[in-house]
Amino acid sequence: MSKIQVMDEVLANKIAAGEVVEKCMNVVKELVENSIDAKASEISIKLVDSGVKEIEVSDNGIGMDPEDARLAFSRHATSKLKSLDDLFYIESLGFRGEALPSIASVSNVRLKTSNGEVGTIVTINGGKDLKIERGDIQEGTTITVSDLFYNTPVRLKYLKNLYTELANIVEYVNKMALSYPSIKFTLINNDKLLLNTDGSGDLLKVIYEIYGVEVTRKMINIEGENDDYYISGFISYPEVTKSNRNAITTLVNGRVIKNNELNKVIVDCYHTYIPKGKFPICIINIDVDPILVDINIHPTKMDIKFSKLDSLKDLIIKLIEKKLKELTLIPDAATRYLTSVNEVSKQINVDREVRVEENKKIEEIQLDFEVAEEKPVYNEKEDKKEKEEDKIEEKETYRIKKMIPRGVVFLTYIVAENEDGMYLIDQHAAAERINFEKVLKAIKEEVIPVDLLVPIKIELPQNEFIIVKENFDLLKSYGFDIEEFGFNSIIIRTYPNWIKEGFEEECIRSLIDIVSVREEIDLDQFIWRMAATTACRMSVMANTYISEEEQQWILDNIRKCENPFTCPHGRPTIITYSKYELERMFKRTKDSR
């Protein structure tokens, strides 16, 4: 008797279900994607006990006729691929033909569907006992999946608790709502409404429904394209962060994907703008010719391969970094008073108009400055006058207006003001940013070694000594005269000129600590860590008295920084109370509450 046999279809479907259906969210995902492919404009998801007991997905899509409804539960049956060539131009969310038979093999399923002409009801239990009946002709489809994994007790045992299962479903449906703002999504669990979008096509309204008014007001619109990709969406201000990457939503041709390389590129764009371990909220829509991507990597279809990934990375970096450099990123300390998405949308439009006007003024100032430089005739009096005017014009291009110090509170925070409002500046964070940018610039320029009057000897544990010794050439390339000096010891005779006098030993020891635990990191990251560590050691600390002149020096120089809003580690340097917000809090305005 032959040992090799063709597997029973029910058994094959159960095996496939191990990849397609791991948890309740996978069921919701497959059913919702089918509804979207059916051109639904309204999708309702109803759960009982986080979907463990029952999942019902209803839509108003094109529905199916009786024959299609029956074939839908056959393995590899699909309406979305007809030939091999179609595999390279996939525009639908589903195409494998594995979802419904896999789900049906591990649950009890009831399908009610109609194409507007004839209605059909299909029931199937554990992948067997297929039953077909006539139903009503209301166009659309409703699929009810109950008792998930009832016939695979091991899989049922390893389902997470109800809260985790529900959280996974909510996260997925939120991402689909962000991906398709023109579709009305409703999510209900145990008769409690969790999400209800209006399907108006306004992405900002979906963001409001998911994240609330505070986050929505702090979202930045991005849009741009190159020869291969078109990108649109929203990114958050650096002050709005999450403790994990789940709020980074990446969409490719409407498909929610997970791509670690793209997530890393997005997070890296916020480098020094947000603290380590924090992540922005982003909704990035990527439109691309289907031939440039491969989504047939895994049955869940959430992984994806790009044929021109570098081109996509460059575009993302360009768009995000440009926006962050354009905007004034000073967090408002006062309480927000906007309460509706319409108010938020209106305020964001006003902010955009202000930004456009500011950019026009800056361009006019820069154009005038260029014309003035082209004058061939030198006149000392006119030249002096032009230089003074140029200085004024250059100040207007700063991202923060000139501030006047009014004192220091808690020996840490400088209180300052200008015509726009009141500011609190963290003296250490601000000084750290100033020193960081100076050091970073100096590192990238020609290094001038400075002799130490007394060489610095450092003893290290043997494991650290080995690593440091291996990187002597790296340190020498940045101006350190370093060599082995006895057992597990090193001696430094010169240091680079970008280390401030009086902080030599402290900075050198900190940099040696960086090298001694250095893993495989790229050179740019190593330079950044050197600059950040050195800047921190050289900056005035909190709980330290500083004079009015020192306060003014910090205020004047923080304005000149490329990024004056955060220290190198992403903490804010400055927050503000606008004059209007102060008057409102003290009830000096007519609309005070």
Same-domain status, 393 and 404 = no
At 593, list the tokens: 């509450």
Residue-wise pLDDT for 145-168, tens only, equals 998 887 777 667 667 788 889 999
Can you tell me the distance from the alpha carbon of 448 to that of 442, in angstroms, rounded to the nearest whole number?
Answer: 10
Same-domain status, 486 and 365 = no
Can you tell me the distance from the alpha carbon of 144 to that of 331, in angstroms, rounded to the nearest whole number?
Answer: 47
Residue-wise pLDDT for 376-413, tens only, equals 333 444 445 445 544 554 445 688 889 999 999 999 99
Helix (H, G, I), strand (E, B) or coil at 544: coil
How does residue 423 score in pLDDT terms, banded at 50, 70 and 90?
very high
Q: Tell whether pTM > 0.75.
A: no
Where is the domain boundary, 295, 326, 357?
326
In whole angstroms, how far apart are CA 342 and each of 211, 339, 347, 552, 570? 15, 9, 9, 41, 31
Tell me if 1 is assigned to some domain: no
* Domain count within the chain: 4
Same-domain status, 364 and 283 = no
Can you tell me the distance from the alpha carbon of 150 to that of 156, in angstroms, rounded to the nearest whole number?
Answer: 7
User: Residue 166's closest CA among 273, 279, 23, 60?
Assistant: 23
Q: How many CA atoms lie within 13 A of 15 on its CB side?
A: 7
Q: What is the CATH number of the domain that holds 244?
A: 3.30.230.10
Same-domain status, 373 and 414 = no
390: left (phi over 0), alpha (psi -120 to 50) or beta: alpha
At 406, list the tokens: 């009014």
Same-domain status, 295 and 369 = no
Which residues, other chains included, contact 232 with Cβ-Cβ below 8 Å and sequence gap of 6+? 222, 223, 285, 287
Q: How many CA atoms lie within 13 A of 343 on its CB side?
A: 8
| Lowest pLDDT segment from 14-23, 34-43, 498-507 | 14-23
Same-domain status, 557 and 472 = yes
Class of residue 96 by CB neighbours under 10 A (exposed 0-12, middle 13-18, buried 19+): middle
Helix (H) or strand (E) holding 459: strand 449-459
| Lowest pLDDT segment from 266-275, 303-312, 355-364 | 355-364
Tell me if 203 is assigned to some domain: no
Tell me the average pLDDT of the chain: 80
Q: What is the CATH number of the domain that holds 179?
A: 3.30.565.10
At 513, list the tokens: 């600590």
Structure confidence at residue 343 (pLDDT): 54
Where is the domain boundary, 133, 163, 196?
196
For residue 7, the 8-state DSSP code is: P
With tokens 């690593």, the residue in question is 467
Can you tell me the distance from the alpha carbon of 250 to that of 302, in angstroms, rounded to the nearest whole number?
Answer: 10
Give the domain range for residue 350: 337-397
Residue spans of alpha helices (H) in 123-274: 153-157, 162-179, 203-211, 213-217, 260-269
Residue-wise pLDDT for 447-462, tens only, equals 889 999 899 999 988 8
Residue-wise pLDDT for 457-497, tens only, equals 999 888 888 888 888 888 898 889 999 998 889 999 999 98
Residue-wise pLDDT for 118-143, tens only, equals 999 999 887 677 888 888 888 999 99
In whole angstroms, how far apart are CA 126 and each of 49, 69, 113, 120, 534? 20, 17, 20, 20, 65
Bridge partners of 574, per DSSP, are: 425
Number of H helices, E strands in the chain: 19, 24
Class of residue 36 by CB neighbours under 10 A (exposed 0-12, middle 13-18, buried 19+): buried
Same-domain status, 141 and 256 = no
Structure confidence at residue 547 (pLDDT): 94
Top mean pLDDT of 101-115, 365-379, 382-396 is at 101-115
Q: How many CB atoms lie within 10 A of CB 482?
A: 25
Can you tell me the distance from the alpha carbon of 190 to that of 47, in angstroms, rounded to the nearest whole number?
Answer: 6
Pairing of strands 282-288, 248-252: parallel
Bridge partners of 457, per DSSP, are: 491
Same-domain status, 357 and 467 = no
Which has more confidence, 89 or 49? 49
User: Residue 424's closest CA among 557, 582, 577?
Assistant: 577
| Lowest pLDDT segment from 73-77, 380-384, 560-564 | 380-384
Q: Are 425 and 414 in contact (CB under 8 A)?
A: yes
User: What average pLDDT does this structure show over 169-189?
Assistant: 93
Bridge partners of 274, per DSSP, are: 271
Same-domain status, 590 and 456 = yes
Residue-wise pLDDT for 5-28, tens only, equals 554 555 454 444 444 577 889 899
